[in-house]
Amino acid sequence: MPHALLARTFDRWAADGRGAEMESEHGDVARQVIAGMGIRAGDQILDLGCGNGWATRLLAKAAAGTQALGVDISPAMIAEAERLHSNTIRARYAVSAFEKLELPDARFQRVFSLEALYYAPDLPAALAEIRRVMRPGATLDIVIEYYVENEGTAFWPEKTGVPMVRLTESAWREELERSGFAEVASKRVIDSRGLGDPAHFRPSACYPDWRTWSDVHSAGFLWLHAVLPR
């Protein structure tokens, strides 16, 4: 049932144009993180919770010969990703739950996830599945705005109508370590574009007023980095 609820919710968001909103709201931070991932030519990259595929396409263009696969629980989001796809880049998309990826073992050198992993109904199972599809020495980069220290996001589950995993920064690191990852580190990433002009602020479900937007922006995104031991 949780997966069905997520699929219905994100299908509705796709119809409402939320995929494009995500790119507008989070594109700067995504680019900062991708630039810092050290992606190498020919890397195979998995984008977990890809939405309409905008970050998948950024990943696929990060270095020569890279290939990126975006997965999402929402068929409508994946359909939108396919519609927006360019044949000039090596990106593909598939419908999948995080806890059961229909992918071969040890496939990817990089796994990236932006604003998605906290939706996993079973986080330990999702992390175990992520480990399974990573090659030894591969890196995992998770970027989230919904965490305990970012107090302005606490109301999001009530607003969105879907359950979400809310952990502290240290608890996220501990969860990754329990799941067998090494070299676990975390840092905050602030959108380099700044708050913008209050006169041009447009309320949204997650940022209903300027005060909330300001608080959430100031807290920053949490970037978690980990390595699968060789």
Look at residue 67 and tell me whether its pLDDT is greater than 90. Answer: yes
Would you tell me the crossing angle of helices 2-15 and 75-84 to the nearest 10 degrees? 40
What pLDDT, in 10s, does the model give residues 132-179? 999 999 999 999 999 999 999 999 999 989 999 999 999 999 999 999
Q: Output the pLDDT for position 8.
A: 95
Q: What is the pLDDT of residue 205?
A: 84
Q: Single out the residue of 142, 223, 225 nearest to residue 188, CA to CA.
A: 223
CATH number at residue 161: 3.40.50.150
* Residues with Cβ within 8 Å of residue 18, at least 6 apart in sequence: 51
Look at residue 120 and tell me whether its pLDDT is greater than 90: yes
Number of folded domains in the chain? 1
Q: What is the pLDDT of residues 15-36, one digit of tens each?
A: 998 888 889 899 999 999 999 9
Domain of 103?
Answer: 2-227
Higher local confidence (pLDDT), 77 or 88: 77
The CA-based angle 110-115-187, given to 5 degrees, is: 70
Task: Please name the helix (run of DSSP H) or strand (run of DSSP E) that holds residue 131, with its range, or none.
Answer: helix 123-133
Report the percent of the chain where pLDDT is more than 70. Answer: 100
The amino acid that residue 23 corresponds to is: E
pLDDT over 70 at 1, yes or no: no
